Amino acid sequence: MKCARFKGEDRMIKDNQKYLNRVHVVLDALVIVISYVMAWYLRFQSGFFRMDPWYLSLREYCRALIYIVPGYLILYAVFQLYTAKRVQGRRLEAWHIIQANVIGLMGFILVLYVMKQANFSRTMIFIFFCLNVVLEVLLRNGIRLFLRKIRKNGYNQKHLLLVGYSRATEQYIDRIVANPEWGYSLRGILDDHQPRGTEYKGVKVIGSIDNLLIILPQNHVDEIAITLGLEEYHKLEYIVGMCEKSGVHTKFIPDYNNIIPTKPYTEDLLGLPVINIRHVPLNNFFNRMMKRAVDIFGAVVAIILFSPVMLGTCIAIKISSPGPLIFKQERVGLQNKTFSMYKFRSMIVQDAASEKSKWTTKDDPRVTKVGKFIRKTSIDELPQLFNILKGDMSLVGPRPERPQFVEKFKEEIPRYMIKHQVRPGLTGWAQINGFRGDTSIRKRIDCDLYYIENWTLGLDFKIIILTFFKGFVNKNAY
């Protein structure tokens, strides 16, 4: 009876996924049509745009939908927007929607040009592009929320079996238990060393690895996750062979994530897979150029916007204490090269040896009254906008540190020096997550590594926006 119930659930899951994909296609088609019709009304009936003496009717425009709808649906399929990804991020899905729509827009305009069809409004086509992107993103986020809700309530579950008991097993279980909206039902663990009945967060060891020979033919599971310990990797070929023979979807959770990061990438060297230890998106020339263009534009705009604040700060510093307005401090930046980082002077003038000896502490007597305020509000960091223009820094990135502390931390904190593979930033992922000033260096580095491995322009914009809400006032600045 139990086997029959599992098989019935498996069939139901597969059927649900099949029907969901069909519904998804229908909803996408409806969104395309709605966006297209709304674009026509906005262009020709809203009064927002200058009207031509004549224009094609909605009926004439809608004839093109015969080709637009299937064309866009094919593009969505090509960009894997119908692939079941239970833990796929919203940003990645939105990016795929934008990519598909950009190609659709370019293809639409190209066809009109080839057919010498000058009567179609290019403005209307662009409005359609904008509306379709926005509505598609909203639709898919609505579906995502709906699915997460029903999965959290125990419906549309995928049955998952773990093979091998290791640190990776526990970490994987931790994440699945913490995210019930992913919709995974853990059936148990197979392991050759842990006794049957051993339990971790409600997931039990139900047998040895050889039990796969019994479980796989019965089709009890939708997915198998191989979570072997390092010392058992000699069994991989045997286990993968069994899983692939049965046709069950199999994934591998490595037990060396403390060595290899979250996003390694592979190369095909004439049929030989080569794993690169760390994937840094900003090693790509095009990505670097895009980020640099945003840095220059953003720094110029920020200098103009904050010029009254910087002028007022200069006057306050000059009145409050003798000494220079700008304080230059040696920091370590891209490729471990040092540079002079600019800050508004917030302390009394002191000799270089005293300045280098220690960090600023609470109620530090060296900090002036004006300095205390500008450090608390991060106004003292504004001159670094000129570092950004020079190319020493970026708007977003890991915060740079002084050479003596770099030498100290690289010996104490694993992977510390990886932060120097990208330009240091005026703000960063660590800063908006509260790791500024006198906070954990290890947690700060974890945030920096996450940023380095997951960089996108969208993430940069997100950090910049959140900086205005979270990053300027620093409760840990002394």
Q: Please give the pLDDT value at position 93.
A: 85
439-445 mean pLDDT: 84
Q: Please give the pLDDT value at position 120.
A: 82
Gap between the Cα atoms of 395 and 416, Å rounded = 21
Extract the tokens encoding 398. Answer: 């890991």
Residue 270 lies in a domain: no
Quick one: 127 and 169 in the same domain?
no
- Where is average pLDDT lowest: 30-39, 192-201, 253-262? 253-262
Q: With cut-offs at 50, 70 and 90, classify the pLDDT of residue 38.
A: very high
Torsion of CA 79, 81, 87, 89, to 10 degrees: 70
Higher pLDDT, 11 or 305: 305
Q: Where are the beta strands (DSSP E) in 319-370?
A: 326-332, 338-344
242-271 mean pLDDT: 76
Residue 264 lies in a domain: no
Last residue of a domain, one of 152, 175, 204: 152
Domain residues for 432? Answer: 283-471
Report the SS3 class of residue 268. strand
Of the spans 10-14, 98-102, 176-180, which averages the highest pLDDT?
Answer: 98-102
Quick one: 143 and 211 in the same domain?
no
Quick one: 294 and 252 in the same domain?
no
Quick one: 114 and 185 in the same domain?
no
Higher pLDDT, 58 or 386: 386
Report the SS3 class of residue 275. strand
Residue 435 lies in a domain: yes
Q: Please give the pLDDT value at position 10.
A: 43
Higher pLDDT, 133 or 280: 133
Q: With cut-offs at 50, 70 and 90, classify the pLDDT of residue 86.
A: low
Quick one: 40 and 117 in the same domain?
yes
Q: Please give the pLDDT value at position 154.
A: 63
Q: Please give the pLDDT value at position 279.
A: 78
Q: pLDDT tens across 204-233, in order?
A: 999 999 888 888 887 678 889 999 988 898
Helix (H), strand (E), coil (C) string for 53-72: CCCCCHHHHHCCHHHHHHHH
Residue 278 lies in a domain: no
Q: The CATH number of the domain where 206 resides is what?
A: 3.40.50.720
Q: Please give the pLDDT value at position 351.
A: 63
Gap between the Cα atoms of 280 and 334, Å rounded = 13
Q: pLDDT tens across 291-346, in order?
A: 999 999 999 999 999 999 999 999 999 888 888 899 899 999 999 999 999 999 88
Residue 103 lies in a domain: yes
Q: Please give the pLDDT value at position 378.
A: 86
Count CB neighbours of 62 within 10 A.
15
Q: Please give the pLDDT value at position 266.
A: 75
Quick one: 309 and 456 in the same domain?
yes
Quick one: 446 and 365 in the same domain?
yes
Q: Please give the pLDDT value at position 87.
A: 56
Gap between the Cα atoms of 73 and 94, Å rounded = 15
Quick one: 223 and 300 in the same domain?
no
Q: pLDDT tens across 124-171, in order?
A: 899 999 999 999 999 988 888 887 777 667 666 788 999 999 988 998
Residue 83 lies in a domain: yes
Q: With cut-offs at 50, 70 and 90, classify the pLDDT of residue 84.
A: low
Average predicted confidence (pLDDT) for the chain: 84
Quick one: 18 and 132 in the same domain?
yes
Crossing angle of helices 457-466/90-114, nearest 10°? 120
24, amino acid identity = H
Q: Please give the pLDDT value at position 278.
A: 74
Quick one: 72 and 127 in the same domain?
yes
Last residue of a domain, one of 197, 226, 259: 259
Can you tell me which residue has the tokens 């009145």?
Answer: 319
Quick one: 99 and 180 in the same domain?
no
Check whether 49 has a pLDDT greater than 90. Answer: no
6-12 mean pLDDT: 43
Q: pLDDT tens across 364-375, in order?
A: 677 888 888 888
Q: List CB contacts of 385: < 8 A, sequence separation 6 or more.
A: 299, 302, 303, 306, 426
Residue 306 lies in a domain: yes
Q: With cut-offs at 50, 70 and 90, classify the pLDDT of residue 463.
A: very high
Quick one: 192 and 206 in the same domain?
yes
Last residue of a domain, one of 104, 126, 152: 152
User: pLDDT over 90 for what percent of the chain?
Assistant: 37
Q: With cut-offs at 50, 70 and 90, classify the pLDDT of residue 259.
A: low
Q: With cut-offs at 50, 70 and 90, classify the pLDDT of residue 377.
A: confident
Check whether 76 has a pLDDT greater than 60. Answer: yes
164-190 mean pLDDT: 87
387-397 mean pLDDT: 96
Residue 273 lies in a domain: no
Q: Please give the pLDDT value at position 8.
A: 43
Q: List CB contacts of 7: < 8 A, sequence separation 6 or more.
A: 218, 219, 220
Domains contained in the chain, number: 3
84-110 mean pLDDT: 82
111-128 mean pLDDT: 84
- Where is average pLDDT lowest: 104-118, 260-274, 275-289, 318-332? 260-274
Q: With cut-offs at 50, 70 and 90, classify the pLDDT of residue 6.
A: very low
91-120 mean pLDDT: 86
